[in-house]
Amino acid sequence: MNVISSGSKGNSTIIWDENDAIVVDFGISVKRFRQRLEELSVTDIPTSIIITHEHSDHSSGLGAASRRLDADIYLRPKARMVLRLDNAYTINEELAIGNFYIRSVSVSHDAVDPVGYVIENRGRKISIFSDLGYFPMENKDIIKDSDILAIESNHDTEMLKTGTYPENLKKRIMSSYGHLSNDQCALALQELSGPKSSIVLLHLSDENNTHEIASMTVRDHLNNRNIKYRSIESARQLYGSSTYEV
C-alpha cells in the first residue's frame, strides 16, 4: 500500500497485488497518478477506483480518470448521482475484485453518503478512514487488528480553536459531521490497534496541525496505555507515505 497524497489539496491511496490495483479516492491529477505508478512499478495490471465521498479533494480527478485511464470506478449510489458519473459502478456494502474483498463502512461527514473501507486480501487487512466526525466503533470488530490502519488525524483542537479560521468553519470541523482530531484518532486507535498494525495518519490540516504534533499525540496516548502497534507515520500532502508490504 502507498498513500499517494493526503490532505485538503487531494487524496489518493493505492493498494495492489500481482493481479489488481485498488485506488481509494482520486483527488489528484492523472499525470501525478501515472508518475506514482511508474515509481512503484505498478503497471500492466487492471486498476479499479473506489471513492469514499464526493468532496472535490477526494474526487476531482475522476472525470479525467474516466476518460484517460482504463479503470473501473465504484462509488455509493448517491455520490454517483452528485458527481454525474454515468459510466461508474455502484458499491453498496461489499465488493469483490480479484483477490480483494472490500467492505464499505458508513461514517459521519457532511457528504451525501460517506464511507470508509476495509480491504482484505488472503488474510491481510487494510482499513482506510478519512473525513469523519467521529469513529464508527459499532464496526470495530471488522476493523480491529488491521495490518494497516490508515485513519484521519486532521487537527490539534487547541490550534484549531485559537487559529484564524472563521467560527462557523471551526464549528463544522469539530462537529460530528466534520473531521477527527488528533485526540479522537488516538482514542479510536486505542480500540483498534494491535501488535501487527502499521498506523498511517491521514488528512492532516496545514493550518491546524503538524506532522510532529499528530504523531506525538497518537504515539504518547498508545504508549502510555501499553497499546501495541508496529509503526506510526503521518502521510504528507505532496509526498504521501512510505510503501507498506503486508
Confidence (pTM): 0.97
What's the pLDDT at 154? 98
Label the pairing between strands 100-106 and 94-97: antiparallel
202-237: pLDDT as tens digits: 999 999 999 999 999 999 999 999 999 999 999 999
- What's the mean per-residue pLDDT of the chain? 97
Amino acid at 159: M
Q: For the structural domain made of 2-234, what CATH number should be given?
A: 3.60.15.10
Domain boundaries of the chain, sorted by first residue: 2-234
Crossing angle of helices 182-192 and 211-224, rounded to 10°: 40
What is the percent of the chain where pLDDT is above 90? 97
- List, as own/partner pairs, every contact residues 166-174 make where C-beta atoms lie below 8 angstroms and the sequence separation is at least 24, other chains included: 172/110, 173/208
